[in-house]
Amino acid sequence: MSRLRAAALVVLLVLTGGVACDTVFTPSTPGSGMPEIDAIFADYDRSDSPGCALGMIQDGEVVYRRGYGMADLEHGFALGSDSVFRIGSVSKQFTAMVILLLEEQGRLSRDDDIRRWLPVMPDLGEPITVRHLLHHTSGLRDYLELMTLAGFRDEDYYTASDLLEFLTRQRDLNSLPGREHRYSNSGYFLLGQIVESATGQGLAEVAQELIFEPLGMLDTHFHDDITRIVPRRAMGYALAQEDGFEISMTTLPIIGDGGVFTSVDDLVAWEHNFYDNQLGDGGAELIERWLEPGVLVNGEPVKYSAGIVDQTYRGVRMVGHGGAFVGFRASMLTFPEQRFSVITLCNLGDAAAGSLARRVADVHLGDILQAAEAEEPLVSRTDTDSTQEFLLPVAELRDYTGRYVSSELGVRYALAIDDGRLTLAIPHMDPEVLLAAAEDRFGTDPSWLQVHFGRDSRGRVNGFLLDTDRVRNLWFARLE
């Protein structure tokens, strides 16, 4: 190809945003790729499918980066390492880092009672600290689960102010602060609100000033303005019910627990900072505080640090986090002793970004890793154990039917009998079948919801407590 034709091709690709792939080949020859790595992403390496962008970093150098599949099916733009994705809960580490940098500046403390900064939050018996929020030991119910239970869908819209008001209505906790680790997006949303209260600036602006600009992460931001134009944005997709794909995006401007848009290329700069910190006062001490694990009241450590999980994978230390929201899945894993990192950003809702990243690590680290064992999730997930059912006569099930209301959710549920089983109707969802598990106790199969009915002094059902993995002790009163 002549230099003139090559230059014209570069201009065309820049103008259209379309690249078949963006690849660094080291130490192989141009065009040869990494067949073992490419095979992992073969299902996405198509011009008619969303897919994933991959980055592999060894000793500070990008050894492989490539896009598999399409960033935008409507306009025919392919994925590359500069495609910008929503990264879900991988965002939490940036929120945590902002908190640590503000603490370094003396503007807040991890040991502050959150009500110092958010006096609107209710007093729930014991102080909840900023540190509790960082390590998911606050006991606060998860807002995404609460909103689902209140009948909200991913595509529904509410503001940060709406969500804060919603959280102030909560009158109970999953557990007392510091007693257990239970993943809660509410905590990281509130960290963003604390940043705003402590600085007078939004989390997006502070993160830009303290992290993204100093590290040259020019394509990275907290997406709190849904009207913002994002160059090279990857659209989010889900599998369509019939065939093909459908768009899966959100209009939510909620940030803190998620909301970061970024690219593989920008996350390379973030990975470099892990080993050579350039933020704040500089030096390794900030990174050490970032990786400091949470500790329960009884002295037991938890694996969750400040927006990051420090654990062992196949005998090797692995630091990372996963993210999942609407049509996006993300994972960033670092193996500090091997100075190796894997980044997988996907724009398809059923893409297992974490599993894909670990498979890349399996290939690259090879004999360093011990024999594979059952995978451990990076963050707690909803319990999927089956509920053991015993059948109740319809006459007994009628004791539980009727309408119930939760003042904390501001929603009503209807319980009815369908085909001999008790059902619970949540707004905008198909009715859940409740299987009897014990006296006055029911649950779904798989075990998402558990319901424990209460009775008054005359033995009549007067309400129930609802539990999920991330929401406990939610009371519904029976309406007469």
Same domain, 94 and 189: yes
At 131, is the secondary structure helix, strand, or coil? helix
Query: What is the average pLDDT across 369-390?
Result: 53
What pLDDT does 447 receive? 84
Q: Quick one: which H or E segment has residue 130?
A: helix 130-135
Within 13 Å, how many C-alpha atoms sit on residue 47's CB side?
Answer: 5
Same domain, 324 and 458: no
The band of 31, judged by pLDDT with boundaries at 50, 70 and 90, is: very low
The band of 371, judged by pLDDT with boundaries at 50, 70 and 90, is: confident
CA distance 151 to 217: 37
What pLDDT does 319 receive? 98
Residue with the two structure tokens 């990264």: 87
The band of 378, judged by pLDDT with boundaries at 50, 70 and 90, is: very low
Give the closest residue to 452 by CA, choosing from 434, 462, 465.
Answer: 465
Residues 6+ apart with CB under 8 A from 186: 138, 140, 141, 142, 143, 146, 167, 257
Q: Classify the C-alpha dihedral 385-390-393-398 as positive or negative.
A: negative
Same domain, 327 and 409: no
The model's pLDDT over 83-142, given as tens digits with 9 standing for 90+, comes to 999 999 999 999 999 999 999 999 999 999 999 999 999 999 899 999 999 999 999 999
**Is 89 assigned a catalytic role?**
yes
Q: Answer for the pair 103, 109: CB distance below 8 angstroms, yes or no.
A: yes
Give the closest residue to 147 by CA, choosing from 480, 478, 468.
Answer: 468
User: Over 80: is that where the pLDDT of 459 sits?
Assistant: yes
At 444, is the secondary structure helix, strand, or coil? coil
The model's pLDDT over 64-90, given as tens digits with 9 standing for 90+, comes to 999 999 999 999 999 999 999 999 999
What pLDDT does 312 receive? 96
User: Over 90: is that where the pLDDT of 56 sits?
Assistant: yes
The band of 9, judged by pLDDT with boundaries at 50, 70 and 90, is: very low
Same domain, 153 and 251: yes
Instruction: Tell me, yes or no, whether 26 lies in a domain.
Output: no
Q: What is the DSSP pairing of strand 221-222 with strand 260-262?
A: antiparallel
What pLDDT does 449 receive? 94
The model's pLDDT over 277-331, given as tens digits with 9 standing for 90+, comes to 999 999 999 999 999 999 999 999 999 999 999 999 999 999 999 999 999 999 9
Query: What is the average pLDDT across 376-399?
Result: 60
User: Over 90: is that where the pLDDT of 391 sits?
Assistant: no
Range of the domain at 408: 394-478
* Average pLDDT score over the chain: 90
The verdict on pTM exceeding 0.85 is yes
What pLDDT does 41 receive? 98
What pLDDT does 263 receive? 98
CA distance 109 to 130: 7
Q: In this structure, what CATH number is given to the domain that contains residue 248?
A: 3.40.710.10
Instruction: Tell me, yes or no, whether 386 lies in a domain.
Output: no
Same domain, 229 and 345: yes
Same domain, 292 and 347: yes
Instruction: Tell me, yes or no, whether 25 lies in a domain.
Output: no
Same domain, 364 and 402: no
- What is the crossing angle of helices 92-104 and 185-199, to 10°? 40
Q: In this structure, what CATH number is given to the domain that contains residue 410?
A: 2.40.128.50
Same domain, 315 and 460: no
User: Over 70: is that where the pLDDT of 387 sits?
Assistant: no
Same domain, 357 and 451: no
What pLDDT does 390 receive? 62
CA distance 80 to 22: 5
Instruction: Tell me, yes or no, whether 258 lies in a domain.
Output: yes
CA distance 122 to 124: 6
Same domain, 353 and 441: no
Instruction: Tell me, yes or no, whether 70 lies in a domain.
Output: no
User: Over 90: is that where the pLDDT of 2 sits?
Assistant: no
Instruction: Tell me, yes or no, whether 33 lies in a domain.
Output: no
Tell me how many domains the chain contains. Answer: 2
What pLDDT does 373 receive? 60
The band of 422, judged by pLDDT with boundaries at 50, 70 and 90, is: very high
Of 198 and 446, the one with more pLDDT:
198
What pLDDT does 367 receive? 87
The model's pLDDT over 323-345, given as tens digits with 9 standing for 90+, comes to 999 999 999 999 999 999 999 99
What pLDDT does 242 receive? 86
Give the closest residue to 387 by CA, choosing from 469, 448, 451, 445.
Answer: 445
Instruction: Tell me, yes or no, whether 58 lies in a domain.
Output: no
Same domain, 251 and 151: yes
Whole-angstrom CA distances from 442 to 97, 386, 449, 478 are 42, 12, 8, 16
Residues above pLDDT 70, as percent of the chain: 89
What pLDDT does 395 receive? 87
Q: Answer for the pair 72, 235: CB distance below 8 angstroms, yes or no.
A: yes
CA distance 318 to 336: 7
From the candidates 89, 91, 263, 447, which is the catalytic residue? Answer: 89
- The DSSP line for 279-299 is STT-STHHHHHHTPPPB-TTS
Length of the chain counted residue by residue: 480
Same domain, 418 and 353: no
Q: Answer for the pair 73, 235: CB distance below 8 angstroms, yes or no.
A: yes
CA distance 87 to 234: 11
Query: What is the average pLDDT across 4-17?
Result: 36
What pLDDT does 450 receive? 96
The model's pLDDT over 222-232, given as tens digits with 9 standing for 90+, comes to 999 999 999 99
